[in-house]
Amino acid sequence: MPQQARALHSGAAAGVKDQDRLQLDVEDKLGIPREIYEAVGGVRVRQHVNPLKKELQVPTDPPVWGEAFAEPSRPLVLDIGCGYGRFLLALSKHMPGHNMLGLEIRGPIIERANKWAASLDLEHSVLFLRGNATITLDHTLAAYPAPIDLVCVQFPDPHFKARHRKRRTVQKQLVEALSRLLAPGARVFLQSDVLEAAEHMRDTFEQHGSAWFAPCQELHSGPTFQAASPPRPPPQQQGQQGQADQQAATADAAAEEQGGEGQQEEEEAGQQPEERAEQAQRQSQWAAAGWLQENPLGVPTEREVLTTAQGLPVYRIMLRRL
């Protein structure tokens, strides 16, 4: 990842912390009273959590849907990696005929988000669960009694290091799970302020899900723009970098606090050169659809508010289940 992109992501992450502390533009942008946040209180969480931890390899049991939602027959909006949860709380006002479900791997902020929902009298239409979406979607959502209308993956941790790419949210198994869970016409919204991360999500859906998904034509025929990462280095150089990544992963393993986690990373690092060589040879056909200039949902995430306020681009694509 170029240093400029790393600096941009680091700066934006710092801004997100400032926004969380100072509640910048919350009332204007999301329409949720500031007193709600103050009443529930703050919580300290790690910004980055490894989804490969053993404790996160257990699927999340589904709730009793008739108890979780007042009207379980409503279509569902699923926000994967929902973060603090404010996006879903705001979106529920714009899509009152839907139930909202947020999945997040950081437990403390899930507890706080559910308290916020209760404070807003939304606890029977907005629910937050702790879960690793990569492994839990089929188990958690297979018995949901209504269609899943919209799935969002927004501003996921880009995991810049090559040996950490297996930690990224959008993986083959997630794409395949959504292909089973979504009915024709359902939408998948992907966006990031990191171009490589947005490309990874788009290309993973294209590589593993082009039989079931395609860019939404009615949206991508409107205002879009083109942007693409520089070409990847030749496979020979990638192989050399992969060896360096594997050595670094071995060093990381010695410092890992979670048993077995380091070995898993080292194995992943050994797989990276072949994976990168394969990606370098692939060309995205979906790239021609471009990136959406505007958020089609009409409700921004906090990260989106911060990024656009700085005049920085956001890379968005809407997919539709075929």
Q: Which amino acid is at 62?
A: P
Pairing of strands 148-154, 126-130: unpaired
Q: Measuring CA to CA, how many Å separate 100 from each of 25, 39, 212, 249, 293? A: 23, 22, 23, 38, 25
Element counts in the chain: helices (H) and strands (E): 13, 9
φ, ψ at 192 (rounded to 5°)? -160, 155
- CA-based end-to-end distance of the chain: 33
258 within 8 A of 54, measured Cβ to Cβ: yes
Query: Please, which residues have CB within 8 angstroms of residue 64's CB and are 6 or more apart in sequence?
Result: none
Find where tokens 């500031």 sit: 34
Give the residue among 81, 95, 80, 86 at the shortest CA–CA distance from 125.
95
The DSSP string of 74-130 is S-EEEEET-TTSHHHHHHHHH-TTSEEEEEES-HHHHHHHHHHHHHTT-TTTEEEEE
Tokens for 317, please give them.
Answer: 């694509």
Give the residue numbers marked as catalytic.
Answer: 157
